[in-house]
Amino acid sequence: MKTLGSIALSICLSATFLFLFTTQTHSQEPLMLKEGNIIRVIRVDVDPKMEDEFNRWYNSEHERLLLKVPGVIWTYRGVNLGEKGQKYFYLYVHENMNVQKSEQYKAASQTEWAKAVRPSLKNFEGLNYEVIVPGPVQTQFNKGSLIRTVQVNVEPSKEGDFNRWYNEEHIPLLKKVPGVMVIWRGKNVGDKGQQYLTVYFQENIGVQSREDYKKASQTDWLKSLMPHLKDLSGMNFDIQF
């Protein structure tokens, strides 16, 4: 016959196991972007004399404050691997456009340290894209992992065909290529910048030079669309973490 002590111990152990199981199960659930979320892309150069101070500010204060703002889902930072475009790259994902209008978000960007750093910034570009093809929020990277962004305008008469190509052929083919981790798409919600954005998370720069990647990217369907694509820009950024 069980004693009251053994019964209490069994209940305690059962409750502990249930807590651990539910906690572990929940922690393994990946963050997911949804249609209608916002991808904010920022590119900027920094006065070389202020780069160390700029990076200390961003890493020690700015990013930490942003991640505390309700509606900020995740942040990424990178350095341009190419010869064109600004050196520094930041990508933020928000629940909606109202996040950037909140007082807490503004406060995270208007500290005394931020004001001291701001005069050293050059060629600042900030664009917002509404998510039209969502996916997991990639949070784990190895050294050499990168974010590739592709931005483009499309002739209005070919937009439907362009989106079908992207969603029905291009993304499904690329997702099968080893080293391609996650792909998102967004549509510009502002007046500046290209109309469409694609964000690719890749294990390393070598992925793009392999034949399987090229085969998935250079199909006849894409070749038929190329004459109707304008202001095409593709850039690679080494992820900093």
The pLDDT of residue 1: 47
Q: How many domains does the chain have?
A: 1
Residue 106 forms part of a structural domain = yes
Structure tokens at 169: 């052929």
Instruction: Report how far residue 91's alpha carbon sits from residue 200's, in angstroms, rounded to the nearest whole number.
Output: 12
Instruction: Report how far residue 230's alpha carbon sits from residue 201's, in angstroms, rounded to the nearest whole number.
Output: 23
CA distances from 118 to 44, 47, 73 (A): 11, 10, 24
Instruction: Report how far residue 181's alpha carbon sits from residue 196's, in angstroms, rounded to the nearest whole number.
Output: 20
Q: What CATH number has the domain bearing residue 195? A: 3.30.70.100
Q: Are 128 and 97 in contact (CB under 8 A)?
A: yes
pLDDT reading at 21 higher than 50: no
pLDDT reading at 5 higher than 60: no
Q: 160-186, pLDDT tens digit by residue?
A: 999 999 999 999 999 999 999 999 999
| CA torsion angle 202 143 139 60 (round to 10) | -130
pLDDT reading at 6 higher than 60: no
Alpha-carbon Rg for the chain in angstroms: 22
Residue 74 forms part of a structural domain = yes
Q: Which residue range is the domain that position 111 belongs to?
A: 38-133+143-239
Residue 212 forms part of a structural domain = yes
The mean pLDDT of the chain is: 90
Report the percent of the chain where pLDDT is more than 70: 88
* Among the listed residues 183, 176, 174, the one whose alpha carbon sits nearest the alpha carbon of residue 201: 183
Q: Are 224 and 132 in contact (CB under 8 A)?
A: no
pLDDT reading at 24 higher than 80: no
Q: Which residues contact 50 (CB under 8 A, 6 or more apart)?
A: 117, 120
pLDDT reading at 30 higher than 80: no
Residue 120 forms part of a structural domain = yes
Report the residue count for the chain: 241
The pLDDT of residue 61: 97
Residue 10 forms part of a structural domain = no
* Among the listed residues 76, 44, 37, 80, the one whose alpha carbon sits nearest the alpha carbon of residue 186: 37
Q: 108-160, pLDDT tens digit by residue?
A: 999 999 999 999 999 999 999 999 999 999 999 999 999 999 999 999 999 99
Model-level pTM?
0.86
* Among the listed residues 86, 38, 89, the one whose alpha carbon sits nearest the alpha carbon of residue 240: 89
Residue 25 forms part of a structural domain = no
Residue 5 forms part of a structural domain = no
pLDDT reading at 17 higher than 90: no
With H, G, I as helix, E, B as strand and everything else as coil, classify residue 54: helix
